[in-house]
Structure 1
Amino acid sequence: MEFIKAENVRFTYDEPDAENPEAPVHDVLKGISLSIEHGEFVALLGHNGSGKSTMAKMFNAMLTPSAGKVFVDGMDTADESKTFDIRRRVGMVQQNPDNQLVASIVEEDVAFGPENLGIEPHEIRKRVDEALKAVDMYEYRTHAPYKLSGGQKQRIAIAGILAMETDCIVLDEPTAMLDPRGRAEVMETIQRLNREKGITIILITHYMDEAVQAGRVIVMDSGEILTQGTPREVFAQVELLKTHKLDVPQATELSFRLSGAGCKMPQCVLTIDECVEALEPLLSGKGASA
């Protein structure tokens, strides 16, 4: 069932100059149309300036279109009377977890959102406990957030969104400031919430290996959708992505280069395990002929 729908969305940060109406206006989004279903896990890719973060902010009415429409669960994001309801359905997790933590105790931080929604105290207690358990941080509920690792802080930020009982979580490069362990913790949490709780996930990332874990990938370039599809469909288009200065997963890159060198490789290798499986016959054959 359709949850988020964008119809020919345009957005500009620069309004036309009244004294110089001929001056160029910088369009960040140039007629984007897309839809996201309930329970989907979608990765939104693109290099800096492609418009992906601007598009993400449309999903919870942080920004509204200069032209076109965005609907969340049937509600028009341009309707200010619906903003509160939209943000109860779509929560956003930013890149730097330190910018989202507001309390000196973990459980108080997670309770901040529900408190501002006017939820009853006994219900807040229940939501906070459930949210912390969902991100495997319950045992840290009385700890100080500043003492936690980057990955743990980001999981607390996610718990704060969960406690508001949103249907969708938009994550804007949530692992950009984390080490590999922290990245793995956050991605495992995201996958589990999508798989077990049916929460719609929209992940903005520069890491192609994270995008591979999504059910669908949307690639943006210069304010437009370049291509979209399953990870295998998208990353099979190596030459197209490279033409637009976009990366592919490392395993895909290696496979592409080996195929170009004359080695028989599958059409699109996405993971290290798939790459190893594809290489084993080649390596064993080479060893046998030596």
Structure 2
Amino acid sequence: MGEHCLAFIEVQNVRFSYDTESVDSREVLHGINLSIEAGEFVALLGHNGCGKSTMAKLFNGMLLPTSGSVLVDGIDTQDEARQFEVRSRVGLVQQNPDNQLVAGVVEEDVAFGPENLGVPPLEIRKRVDEALKAVDMYEYREHAPHKLSGGQKQRVAIAGIIAMETRCIVLDEPTAMLDPRGRVEVMETIQRLNREKQITIVLITHYMDEAVQAGRVVVMDEGEILTDGSPREVFSDVEFLKRHDLDVPQATELVYRLAAAGIKLPEIPLGEEECVRLFRRYLAGEAH
């Protein structure tokens, strides 16, 4: 009863400590409450060591809370008998694509997950083709993964998760090891999956210019949630973020500095195009 009222992922008063047996065990999450609805695109931000990667592993049951609970689609991740169900709903893409690719051919790699789920061969073939098309890597299906660029490898890793038909993809710093082009490829891919396939996306990143592409931004600091809202709500409070030594997008930073120098634009931009539009409005106003 009542499960239908829950969000797709419910984190309820979660605390987490590494190495709870030792005297100097450290608690990295201090009573986190967070709800993520099906179909959302959420960016999770914060300093290294603030607990973001721990959260990623809690979302798909790789780690279990020390206290509190994580529910995925109504299933408690601590229910050992149902951990398989949790992982077939939430897939995790990690930072280093080389650590995620296991086979010598791209399409075999994408087939690995569904094979482990016991999906019939004909259905696997269909899923692999569809998943590779979804990440725009179908023409590379017979290539060796180690010969691909970083961005292409990461897209193959994402395809492997899509082929398992997970309803949520958690990406832990997926572009940290990529060049700018690879970063753009991966961001475009996850935006499209969220928009066209309604896959729930949780993107853990330290790039503010990636975070503004999400529908919602959750900022963590020292194991707690600092703020949670739309990108515009979160990044408009530049002073607050700076007090916690957090960055803001470049366009936001520029306009913030101009304001400090006495040049006040009508609003805070989140990206380059908005910034340009604001300057045009400002200059047109000056000309009158």
Per the alignment, residue 78 of structure 2 pairs with 78
Mapping for residues 205-224 of structure 1, pairs under 5 Å: 205-224=205-224
Per the alignment, residue 11 of structure 1 pairs with 16
What do residues 119-138 of structure 1 show as CA deviations (whole Å, max 9, x unaligned)? 10000000000000000100
Contact 2:96 2:174 in 1 (8 A): yes
Q: Percent identity?
A: 73
- CA RMSD across the alignment: 1.3
* Residues 1:158 and 2:158 are matched in the alignment: yes
Per the alignment, residue 3 of structure 2 pairs with none
Aligned residues: 283
Looking at structure 1, the residues matched to 266 and 215 of structure 2 have their Cα atoms a distance apart, in angstroms, of: 20
Unaligned stretches of 5+ in structure 2?
Answer: 1-5
Amino acid at match of 2:171: L
Deviation at 1:280, TM superposition (A): 2.0
Per the alignment, residue 280 of structure 1 pairs with 280
Deviation at 1:266, TM superposition (A): 3.1
* Residues 1:231 and 2:231 are matched in the alignment: yes
Looking at structure 2, the residues matched to 148 and 242 of structure 1 have their Cα atoms a distance apart, in angstroms, of: 38
Q: TM-score with structure 1 length normalisation?
A: 0.95
Amino acid at match of 1:3: F
Taking a change above 3 Å as real, the CA distance of residues 267 and 282 of structure 1, as seen in their structure-2 partners, is closer
Q: Give structure 1 regions of 4+ aligned residues with deviation exceeding 6 angstroms.
A: none
What do residues 241-274 of structure 1 show as CA deviations (whole Å, max 9, x unaligned)? 1111111000000011111221121332101011
Amino acid at match of 1:61: G
Q: TM-score with structure 2 length normalisation?
A: 0.95
Mapping for residues 168-179 of structure 1, pairs under 5 Å: 168-179=168-179
Amino acid at match of 2:67: A
Looking at structure 1, the residues matched to 127 and 38 of structure 2 have their Cα atoms a distance apart, in angstroms, of: 22
Per the alignment, residue 64 of structure 2 pairs with 64
Deviation at 1:16, TM superposition (A): 4.8
Looking at structure 1, the residues matched to 7 and 221 of structure 2 have their Cα atoms a distance apart, in angstroms, of: 24
Per the alignment, residue 167 of structure 1 pairs with 167
Looking at structure 1, the residues matched to 24 and 136 of structure 2 have their Cα atoms a distance apart, in angstroms, of: 50
Unaligned stretches of 5+ in structure 1?
Answer: 18-22
What do residues 190-233 of structure 1 show as CA deviations (whole Å, max 9, x unaligned)? 00000000000000001000000000000000000000100000
Per the alignment, residue 88 of structure 2 pairs with 88
Per the alignment, residue 122 of structure 1 pairs with 122
Deviation at 1:283, TM superposition (A): 4.2
Contact 2:43 2:205 in 1 (8 A): yes
Deviation at 1:284, TM superposition (A): 5.4
